[in-house]
Amino acid sequence: MIDNILRDIAEILLPEKNTCLVCSYKAPYIQKSYICMYCESLLSRLEGVLCVKCSKPMEHDSDLCGECVKIEKAFDKSLALFEYRDKTKALINDFKYHNKSYLYKMFGYQMVKFLKDTGVTNIKAVVPVPIHQSKELKRGYNQSELLASYISFNLGLPMLKLVKRNRDTTPQSRLEGYARWNNMAGAFDIREGLPVPDKILLVDDIYTTGATVNECSKVLKQNGAEEIICLAIAR
C-alpha cells in the first residue's frame, strides 16, 4: 500500500522515469536507464582488442597502441564506453550543443554500469574536466560536470572540482593531431584549498586525442594524485 503511494508520488515527481530520453518511448523496463532497447542498440560499444592504456581499438593483439608507446601519458588508464560515431555522436552533440542537458541521466547511468562491470575500485573522488567559464555561462552547464555529479551521487563518492581552466583554447575539433597537444599545454591549474586524493576518476564527454585529460592529469599528479583513471562516454 505505502509502496504504491510512494511509487505514484515518484511517478509524479519523476515523470520521465520509464521513458526513453532519446525517442520518448515509454515502457516499465526502462526504469532509470532512460533509454529503450532499440535506441541502446544503436550505440556502438567500444569492443575488441583495445590499448590497455587509452582504449584505442587495435588490429593486432598487443598491450599498447603505437601512440602510447611513443608518448608517455600522465593518466594511468583511459576508458570509454562507445565509439564516437553515428547515433552516439549525434546524441553527444545534442547533449553538448543543443541544450539537451537532461541526457546526462542516460549517459550517466551507462557510465556507472560500465564502471561496476569493469570493476574499477578504490576511487576516492570524481573530478570533472572543466570548460572555460565563458563557455559554461553561454551553454548554461558543463556537460562533464553533469556526468561527474551523476556518477559521484550513484557511487557515493565526492565530486571535487579540482581543476580549473585558466585560459580558453581553440576548439580541439578545429585542430589536427599534434597541434591538439600543444593547444592544451598549460591550459589547466589546480583549484587551491581542496584536498587532492590519491586515486581519481577524471570524467570527460569525449576522448579525442587525449590531450585534454592528459593535461588535467599532469596538474592533478603535480599536486598529489597518484592514480588517475579517465572515463569518457565515447572515443
Choice from 20, 46, 81, 219 touching Zn ion (CB under 5 A): 20
Q: Is 65 helix (H, G, I), strand (E, B) or coil?
A: coil
Choice from 19, 22, 114, 125 touching Zn ion (CB under 5 A): 22
Q: Which is nearer to Zn ion, 152 or 212 (CB)?
A: 212
Does the footprint of Zn ion cover residue 36 (CB under 5 A)?
yes
Q: Which is nearer to Zn ion, 46 or 160 (CB)?
A: 46
Q: Which is nearer to Zn ion, 149 or 217 (CB)?
A: 217
Which range, of 52-60, 133-141, 159-167, 183-191, touches Zn ion by CB under 5 A? 52-60
Total site size for Zn ion, rule CB under 5 A: 12
Choice from 19, 33, 46, 56 touching Zn ion (CB under 5 A): 56
Determine contact, residues 84/235, Cβ cutoff 8 Å: yes
**CB contact set of 148 (below 8 Å; sequence gap of 6+):** 126, 127, 128, 159, 203
CA distance linking residue 7 with residue 10, whole number of Å: 5
Give residue 123's identity as a one-letter amino acid code. Answer: I
DSSP H helical ranges for the chain: 2-13, 37-41, 66-70, 86-97, 104-118, 133-139, 143-155, 177-184, 211-222
Q: Which is nearer to Zn ion, 65 or 80 (CB)?
A: 65
Q: Which is nearer to Zn ion, 65 or 203 (CB)?
A: 65
Does the footprint of Zn ion cover residue 90 (CB under 5 A)?
no
Q: Are strands 199-206 and 125-128 parallel, antiparallel or unpaired?
A: parallel
Q: Which is nearer to Zn ion, 216 or 230 (CB)?
A: 230
Shortest distance, CB of residue 55 to Zn ion, whole angstroms?
7
Determine contact, residues 19/34, Cβ cutoff 8 Å: yes
CA distance linking residue 146 with residue 144, whole number of Å: 5
Does the footprint of Zn ion cover residue 106 (CB under 5 A)?
no
Which parts of this chain interact with Zn ion (CB under 5 A)?
Answer: 20, 22-23, 25, 36, 39, 51, 53-54, 56, 65, 68
